[in-house]
Homo-oligomer: A and B are copies of this chain.
Amino acid sequence: MIEIKKLTKQADNKLILRGIDLSIKKGETVAILGPNGAGKSTLLKVLATLIKPSSGHVTINGYDLRKNQMKIKKMMGYLPHSSLLYDHYSPLENLVFFGNVYGIKNVEQKSIDLVREVGLSFFLHEPVKNFSRGMIQRIAIARAIIHEPPLLLLDEPHTGLDQGAINILNNVILSMKEKGTTTLMVTHDFKQATELCDRIIIIKNGKIVDDFRLEEKKLNLVSEKYQLQVEGVS
């Protein structure tokens, strides 16, 4: 699904990504761990076509990231730190707008279903700006998956969610996984990473320092490996 070769990203003179090589197969659920400022979000942004890499080569589903942006954009759902929602619009209006942008059919019904799924039916018509953090995050998740993308890029998706919403999100990710969706998830929460993912990548200082599969869901293994790699960093 995703092939990354010698990817680097430089901002001014600062190297943020220093040569990333990575290959992710279709259907995998990959967690990306790493200390603050390691370059995790930057990597996701590159994959989301939001920033151009300085050098290196990326293909997604066979499409070159530089040349076939339109195709890639269509099949990708991206959930960044910010919500990407219009403050003055209600959840429904937001979802309908983005649904239309992605050209999906039967937008209205689909949006209503999604809002119900994330448990905010009662707030369907209220402007998003009055929402609490967790409620905004729920709508943001709905926005990211409205076009049922075969590739999901999630940047700390569990932020601000309560226990119920975490369960909803995990179920969504798992059910999409069953449909064959590939998921990349940046997180600082080892517990969720172990629960959801079958592969863990640790990034430090713009480089991949560890990359292992997680056959049994063992929390200890993850924190051990993380400790080992990141020890003495901050």
Contact = CB atoms under 8 A, between A and B. Distances in A.
Interface of A: 11, 34-37, 41, 81, 119, 130-135, 138, 156, 159-166, 168, 188, 223, 226-227, 230, 233-234
Given A41-B132, A119-B234, A133-B81, A161 B11 contact: no
Nearest to A155: B133
A156 B130 contact: no
Given A37-B134, A164-B234, 18 more contacts: A11-B130, A35-B163, A35-B164, A36-B133, A36-B161, A36-B164, A37-B132, A37-B135, A119-B234, A134-B188, A156-B160, A159-B159, A162-B188, A162-B234, A163-B188, A163-B223, A163-B230, A165-B234
A156 B134 CA distance: 11
Contact of A41 (B133, B164, B188, B233): B133
Contacts of A159: 159-160
Contacts of A34: 162
Contact of A138 (B36, B119, B133, B162): B36
26 contacts: A11-B130, A34-B162, A35-B134, A35-B163, A36-B133, A36-B134, A36-B135, A36-B138, A36-B165, A37-B131, A37-B134, A41-B132, A81-B133, A81-B160, A133-B156, A134-B188, A159-B159, A159-B160, A160-B188, A161-B188, A162-B188, A162-B230, A162-B234, A163-B226, A164-B234, A165-B234
